[in-house]
Chain A
Amino acid sequence: MERKKDNPIVSLVSRTVSPFIMLFALYVIFHGHYSPGGGFQGGTMLAAAFILIRLSLGMETSQLQFKSSWATPLGSAGVLIYFGTGLVALLFGGNFLDYGFIPFTGTVAENRSIGILCIEIGVAIAVMAIMVSIYDDLLKGSPDD
């Protein structure tokens, strides 16, 4: 984006706030199965933390945090986690995405809890990578990206 000169206040505030946004996003993801929130909201908040760094510090500096070339492999990995959980449930004799059949622990209820957590993590990784990828593609080719 447009950067006339490095503003110390903007860079310091964004660098201080961004880890707390990421921490709250992880809280939203990992508590998504029994409270409001979940994979999509948490992934979007993670992407917002990355985009805040990209907006304030510029594209070259933020490549140290999250490279643009990581976005497509991470998005594919998120979709793979989602479908892999469903296929493992299919392998153990249940229906597709029937987490009760995956033998994480002893009881069916705990299996369902851990299974939906895997789904949330996959969705969050995919949404985060694709949001950052959309931002990078919109800025590609501009004079000071």
Chain B
Amino acid sequence: MNWEIEIVLFICLLIAAFVSLYVKNLLTAVITLSVFSFFSALIYVAMGAIDVGFTEAVVGAGITGVLLIIAIYRTNRRSSD
């Protein structure tokens, strides 16, 4: 139905995923992972699964980012590999 919006969102999803994989600063990786989660929530909503998209937006972009930032705060900020 609205396949153009889905293709644009999917390209943004891929960009966020690759940035979050290859960046050295782990704080940037967490933020781009939240962006990835938000775009996947938008894709769920565009495909009609509003409940799944709501859950993904609340958990992925809200709670997971905070917990990962605490994990970085307790360890090192730079990736070693």
Residues of A within 8 A of B (CB): 1-2, 36-38, 40-41, 44-45, 47-48, 51, 55, 131, 134-135, 138-139, 142
Contact = CB atoms under 8 A, between A and B. Distances in A.
Interface in B14-61: 50-51, 54-55, 58-59
Q: Which DSSP category, helix, strand, loop or mixed, fits chain A's interface?
A: helix
Interface residues of B, number: 14
Interface in B45-81: 50-51, 54-55, 58-59, 62-63, 66-67, 70-71, 73-74
Interface of B: 50-51, 54-55, 58-59, 62-63, 66-67, 70-71, 73-74
Contacts of B50: 36
Contact of A44 (B51, B63, B70, B71): B63
Contacts of A44: 58-59, 62-63
B62 A48 contact: yes
A48 B67 contact: no
A36 to B, nearest CB: 4
